[in-house]
Amino acid sequence: MLAKSVEANVFHYSAAISACEKGGQWQLALGLLSSMLDMRVIPNEISYNSAISACEKGGQWQQALDLLSSMPDMRVMPTEISCSAAISACEKGEQWQLALGLLSSMPDLRVIPNEISYNSAISACEKGGQWQVALGILSSMPAASVMPDKISYTAAISACEKGGQWQLALGLLSGMTGMRVIPNEISYSAAISACEKGGQWQLALGILSSMPDMRVMPNEISYNAAITACEKGGQWQLALGLLNRMPDMRVIPNEISYNAAISACSKSGQWHQALKLLSMMPTVGAIAWGSVLLSMAMSGNQALQASTMESLRLQWLESASRIARYPSGENYSFGGFRVLLESDGLFAVFKPAGITTEELVARLSRALLSEGHSGEITGSSRLDVETSGVLPLVFGPKSSALGRWLTVQFAARQVSKEYICLCAGPILGPRGTQGEIDNPLQVLKTGGIGTSMLKAVWSSSGKAARTQYEVLEVFQQPLPALVNEGDAIMMLLVRPLTGRTHQIRSHLAGIGRPIVGDADYGGLRAPWCRRVLLHCWRLSLMDLNCRRFQPEAPFPSDLLETLQHLGYDPIAGSCDAASDVNIMMRGQLV
């Protein structure tokens, strides 16, 4: 238009910004908005609304809020569309507090919230693990002359599901018809998932069977949740029945469907049934293989498990035409992280505290790309933000031979990991005392940020979890930070036999000995403790060439400083039961 001397007006710009929004081009949308003033075109509410929506779709909640706050300065008043788009941006960015703040501030802007505004706020609470707040918003809608719709109820049901409140989820589902709101397949699926997480497989099946009567056809999500509920309830026959019924209901089973049914058979010792399911899958993933292999071992067929794993290893080794490898020698670093050990494309890095596993992997990938190598790096496990230590990774995608081999070992529990931690509470016993914690864990969403949004709680409806520990050292009073006179700080060697989220943290807190610095689980806080004192110091598995891969991560300086503050001298080697740990502590610091 400009090239042909046709003057662009606000309508042209708004249409172009809207096109960028629909095309997922938030940067272009912002560029057009900012260029309007240079072209002496004044943006209107449609221009801003489209730009805010573009930022919302692009996951740019900060940019969306900046645009919203700048509107009055441009003498453009926000509308319910502007505010709703900004609330939705906060929802997608998991900023539930900001979403609630915007919702409550709308009347001050002389903007009446509509159902989209409320629904976005409820969804933000659902993503933030705030089921109580979500229910409060839902109940407040009629008083504001806004009637909840199926989206409102479904978001609230999902919030209850993530919070482990299956009774409330069912109450909301049954209350929808009384409010003349017809549930859809998403509403039912969320309720079934709530029952699954609550260990209520009978109720999950009842909801699934009632859907056709309500003229709502189950989809793969509905079936997958019901199959998983049967898996957790030890009902492998019912899980198989659901899987077999899906094609008759014109629902195509996906990888999740098969994995859940395989897991149900495997946990019940029906590994032969699980093998049959493997043969039916279009593409067999490493997780499914790991579930079957684990079932073989737990059924006493260790020899069969070993031979099957060896067959998989040889098959994947043969298919690996080229094993990627970083072109450096041993004891190197890249992307700012130290490589502890590397073996034919399998490598382990030292993960420091204060960075997520995902961000670490992203930095390594960028470092490889900057040097002209393939930037695809993947892993099959993770460490919490504040946990330091060994992190195994592979050069290549998850679908590569190395990626599958690493995944199947974790899924079959063939990887041993050893952690060092400091915990506080009643003394577990003198040095060398050993014990095991065997309590199922259920992961719930809370109101934190990032991984702290999750919390593992002891629950009979949770997943099996076992943790072994050994007392390495006991530090008794005088320690002014301790609460009770008979308590002590203990250094433990911990071996998780299963791999649940926050397993060590929740298990130790559950026996009254939370990890020092772990505020989320009631851990001791003190000036000399700057983080959760949990360190993964050794890991052991096999590489694709059947060689033992056993990296070790020296103690980080902050953990050593804490031990020295407690009076522990690693040079003296005061703990005979942990000679390997003492040797490691005397080595190079990180």
Query: Active-site residue numbers?
Result: 384
- The contacts found for 33-36 with CB under 8 angstroms, 24 or more apart, are 33/67, 36/10
* Cβ–Cβ < 8 Å for 494, 509: no
User: What does residue 192 show for φ and ψ, rounded to 5 degrees?
Assistant: -60, -40
Residues 6+ apart with CB under 8 A from 550: 341, 538, 539, 540, 541
Distinct helix (H) and strand (E) counts, the chain = 23, 13
Alpha-carbon distance 446 to 448, whole Å?
6
The token pair at 564 is: 């020295």
The token pair at 116 is: 């989209």
Alpha-carbon distance 151 to 463, whole Å?
30
Report which DSSP code applies to 371: T
What three-state secondary structure class fits 97? helix
* Cβ–Cβ < 8 Å for 563, 491: yes
Alpha-carbon distance 529 to 2, whole Å?
62
* Cβ–Cβ < 8 Å for 223, 257: yes
Alpha-carbon distance 349 to 336, whole Å?
10
CA distances from 370 to 183, 350, 365, 450 (A): 50, 21, 9, 28
CA distances from 84 to 17, 48, 49, 50, 454 (A): 18, 12, 9, 12, 27
Alpha-carbon distance 187 to 172, whole Å?
9
Residue type for position 179? M
Closest CA to 71 of 88, 51, 55: 51
Alpha-carbon distance 190 to 132, whole Å?
17
